[in-house]
């Protein structure tokens, strides 16, 4: 099974590699497509548009800022697709501008009128009725005016610092001498962007329920309309909104840091003052003010992005909070697996896992068994220790509460809190300190590596020995996102996996140079080598004229070496199905290169997040699940884990039910074309429509109904 010499893998021709930044923008295009899809409930479409806005903010804060740094440092290295940093920035600007135009056009021309029809009215200040204006102006004077700070620009007032993601007003005023001046007013982010005007008593729907009417006006327009109160004695000539995005990809000099936590805190403070990477302005802003922003923010003209109103679409998430369940997806109640039903005692949790490995597929399966295992471990007098990795845990975490309870009850608790989880650093610092104060052994991560694996281990004394109960997953220990992220987890007390988990935690918390794991694939130790060997094995089967098939479900396929290997597999006759939700830098369907490769992306109600790697292996199928995407950072620079699916029932379920449904989806799936664009699939002929996420919800609901019926019959029989 040893792979051939790496020299046999021919380096990629740049024309066979899609630029990763442009591929990421195409993912944003697919998110935007969901906002335009009338099959989605109205407020869900607004939510997709907000997610698009948030994603684009992060794209500029991280990806564009990195390219700008390369230009500043005069880096001449080409990307794998043969582009210089400047060429990439030019291509990004063109595509991003197209997407911004599509997004605002969608909002203004489609979503706003439909919201209006459903009683959610987004009004412009100029179109308010006299009574509405009076009500809004009173609110301005009483609540908004006191917290605004107009900042002048002149010899005595230098250009003010403008923080990241801030919405601002450029105000042109004329003094009594007739001289025009410039001032900046920050739109406060402590107030709702859409200011409530009123909420009516509503009208009665056909079903007898009352639909309340909600009226909103844009906060920046309210401030602009009342700007003369901010500059008494002056004439306000014009007010123009603009929005600033700064470099937020913090760099941490870990090797030089005496205290990683303090180093990250300092870096977080610097994030607010990073260099400007984008200034969004409305097309009504005159060139003179744009030039003033260019000069004072020290940016290139290419950093100015002219967009239609409104700027900053991420703020639309406010609308999703409106209690209009008729305009959202129907609530979904996750399934509770049979193994965790009617557990009456702590011992039952461990007995259930001892009986068999238990597979969970979130959000279709409940996340509560994960919390249940940790809570049971905290209270069980036979449990000696709990070890766990935490990457993104969110607020009010029941997982952390269980760990705190465990240490209060005298258990040994060791937790690796990854402080370098981007945009979760502050939250993770808070959790790390709380855990430390309670007596938990907290490790911040490894120098030079980000710990991304998801694993928890409970060490329990049983008889004269100990048994290790392990939970492995593709997703974070976050009870909130588990309801909207698609992920897979496994409970097991397999001895080899338990021993591997012990070795892994020793690697994470101490000094360990272990190179051999029994069953787990661990990056950066053996995961890349083993994954490549498994692909090579499939190639060897194909070369012998045997059936060969790979299914790779991942968030992103970017790694040039893996892509080159998949091209080699296709040329050998291996059937390759790639389910890549986000970036994919491989070009499928090229004659003589990738004819047998198909790439599908699914964007829907739930965020596709699990990583599943399937190998036909001459009929002796193998499957691995875990946290690792097919990217250089995951394979080389992160601690990642893939775990085997060894139970035949689990493997059959994931292969024949789950993956097969993904491969046959014809409602949410997009098929990637050789040029990197995606074609939305539709049922053909008499082909039945299939939405994989809807199908999985219905499948789990049917299973829950059958279990409930069995329980009723059993209860009736014993009564």
Q: Which residues are part of the catalytic machinery? A: 452
The four Cα atoms 95, 98, 102, 108 give a dihedral, to 10 degrees, of: 130
Tell me the sheet residues that pair with 488: 361
Element spanning 386, H or E:
strand 383-390
CB atoms within 10 A of CB 569: 22
Helical axes 42-58 vs 20-35, angle rounded to 10°:
160
Cβ atoms of 656 and 467 within 8 Å: the answer is: no
- Measured between alpha carbons, how far is 51 from 59 in angstroms, rounded to an integer? 12
Q: Is 611 helix (H, G, I), strand (E, B) or coil?
A: strand
What is the residue-wise DSSP string for 177-215? Answer: TS-EEEEEEE--TTS-SEEEEEE---EE-TTS-EE--EE
Contacts (Cβ under 8 Å, ≥6 apart) of 487: 361, 362, 473, 474, 475, 609, 610
- Radius of gyration (C-alpha) of the chain in whole angstroms: 28
Instruction: Tell how far CA 73 is from the center of its chain.
Output: 30
Cβ atoms of 327 and 447 within 8 Å: the answer is: no
DSSP state of 519: S
Residue 621: which region, alpha, beta or left (left: phi > 0; alpha: psi -120 to 50)?
Answer: beta
Q: How far is CA 538 from CA 5, 250, 552, in A?
A: 16, 41, 13
Bridging pattern class, strands 638-644 and 575-580? unpaired
Q: State the greatest distance between any 2 C-alpha atoms of the chain, in Å, as a whole number.
A: 94
Cβ atoms of 440 and 405 within 8 Å: the answer is: no
What is the residue-wise DSSP string for 635-654? Answer: HHSEEEEEEE---HHHHHII
Q: How far is CA 210 from CA 119, 147, 451, 593, in A?
A: 11, 36, 50, 60
Burial environment of residue 343 by CB neighbours within 10 A (0 to 12, 13 to 18, 19 or more): middle
Output the six-digit token pair for 494. 């397999």
- Measured between alpha carbons, how far is 104 from 110 in angstroms, rounded to an integer? 10
Output the six-digit token pair for 395. 């607020």
CB atoms within 10 A of CB 108: 14
Let me know how many helices (H) and strands (E) the chain has, helices first. Answer: 21, 29
> Residue length, the chain?
719
Bridging pattern class, strands 678-680 and 669-672? antiparallel
Bridging pattern class, strands 450-451 and 454-462? unpaired
Contacts (Cβ under 8 Å, ≥6 apart) of 96: 25, 56, 59, 305
- Measured between alpha carbons, how far is 666 from 694 in angstroms, rounded to an integer? 12
Instruction: Tell how far CA 168 is from the center of its chain.
Output: 27
Bridging pattern class, strands 383-390 and 454-462? antiparallel
- Measured between alpha carbons, how far is 467 from 356 in angstroms, rounded to an integer? 14
Q: Which residue in this structure is represented by tokens 């290295």? A: 77
Tell me the sheet residues that pair with 535: none
């Amino acid at each position: 099974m040893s792979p051939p010499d790496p020299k046999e893998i021919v380096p990629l021709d740049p024309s066979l590699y899609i630029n990763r930044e442009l591929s990421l923008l195409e993912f944003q295009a697919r998110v935007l497509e969901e906002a335009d899809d009338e099959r989605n409930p109205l407020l869900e479409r607004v939510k997709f548009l907000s997610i698009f806005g948030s994603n684009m903010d992060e794209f500029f804060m991280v990806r564009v800022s990195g390219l700008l740094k390369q230009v500043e440092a005069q880096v001449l290295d080409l990307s794998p697709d043969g582009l210089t940093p400047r060429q990439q920035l030019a291509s990004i600007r063109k595509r991003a501008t197209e997407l911004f135009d599509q997004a605002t056009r969608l909002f203004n021309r489609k979503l706003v009128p439909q919201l209006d029809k459903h009683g959610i009215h987004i009004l412009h200040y100029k179109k308010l009725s006299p009574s509405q204006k009076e009500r809004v102006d009173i609110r301005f004077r009483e609540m908004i005016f006191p917290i605004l700070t107009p900042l002048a620009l002149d010899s005595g007032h230098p250009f003010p610092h403008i923080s990241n993601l801030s919405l601002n007003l450029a105000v042109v005023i004329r003094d009594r001498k007739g001289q025009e001046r410039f001032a900046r007013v920050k739109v406060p982010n402590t107030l709702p962007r859409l200011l409530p005007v009123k909420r009516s008593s509503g009208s009665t729907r056909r079903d007898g329920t009352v639909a309340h009417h909600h009226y909103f006006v844009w906060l920046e327009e309210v401030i602009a309309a009342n700007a003369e109160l901010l500059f008494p004695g002056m004439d306000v000539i014009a007010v123009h909104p603009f929005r600033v995005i700064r470099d937020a990809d913090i760099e941490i000099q870990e090797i030089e840091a005496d205290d990683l936590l303090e180093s990250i805190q300092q870096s977080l403070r610097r994030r607010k003052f990073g260099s400007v990477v984008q200034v969004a302005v409305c097309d009504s802003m005159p060139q003179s003010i744009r030039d003033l922003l260019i000069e004072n923010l020290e940016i290139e003209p290419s950093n100015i992005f002219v967009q239609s109103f409104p700027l900053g679409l991420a703020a639309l998430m406010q609308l999703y909070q409106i209690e209009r369940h008729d305009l959202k997806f129907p609530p979904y109640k996750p399934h509770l697996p049979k193994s965790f039903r009617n557990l009456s005692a702590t011992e039952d949790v461990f007995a259930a896992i001892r009986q068999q490995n238990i597979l969970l597929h979130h959000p279709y399966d409940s996340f509560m068994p994960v919390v249940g295992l940790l809570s049971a471990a905290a209270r069980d007098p036979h449990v000696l220790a709990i070890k766990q990795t935490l990457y993104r845990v969110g607020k009010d975490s029941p997982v952390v509460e269980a760990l705190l309870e465990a240490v209060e009850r005298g258990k040994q608790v060791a937790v690796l809190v990854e402080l370098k989880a981007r945009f979760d650093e502050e939250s993770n610092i808070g959790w790390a300190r709380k855990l430390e104060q309670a007596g938990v052994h907290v490790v911040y991560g490894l120098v030079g590596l980000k710990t991304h694996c998801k694993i928890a281990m409970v060490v329990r004394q049983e008889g004269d020995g100990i048994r290790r109960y392990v939970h492995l997953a593709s997703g974070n220990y976050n009870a909130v996102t588990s309801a909207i992220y698609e992920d897979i987890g496994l409970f097991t007390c397999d001895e080899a996996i338990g021993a591997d988990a012990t070795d892994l935690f020793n690697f994470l918390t101490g000094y360990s140079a272990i190179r051999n794991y029994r069953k787990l694939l661990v990056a950066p130790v053996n995961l890349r080598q083993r994954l490549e060997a498994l692909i090579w094995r499939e190639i060897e089967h194909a070369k012998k004229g045997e059936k060969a098939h790979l299914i790779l479900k991942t968030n992103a396929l970017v790694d040039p070496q893996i892509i080159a290997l998949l091209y080699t597999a296709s040329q050998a006759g291996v059937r390759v199905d790639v389910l890549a939700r986000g970036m994919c830098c491989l070009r499928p369907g090229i004659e003589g290169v990738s004819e047998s490769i198909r790439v599908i992306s699914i964007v829907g109600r739930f965020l596709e997040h699990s990583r599943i790697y399937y190998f036909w292996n001459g009929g002796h199928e193998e499957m691995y699940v875990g946290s690792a995407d097919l990217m250089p950072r995951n394979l080389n620079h992160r601690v990642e884990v893939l775990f085997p699916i060894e139970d035949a029932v689990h493997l059959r379920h994931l292969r024949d039910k789950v993956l097969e449904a993904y491969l046959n989806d014809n409602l949410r799936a997009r098929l990637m074309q050789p040029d990197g664009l995606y074609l939305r699939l539709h049922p053909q002929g008499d082909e039945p429509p299939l939405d994989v996420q809807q199908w999985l919800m219905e499948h789990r609901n049917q299973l829950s109904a059958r279990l409930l019926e069995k329980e009723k019959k059993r209860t009736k029989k014993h009564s």
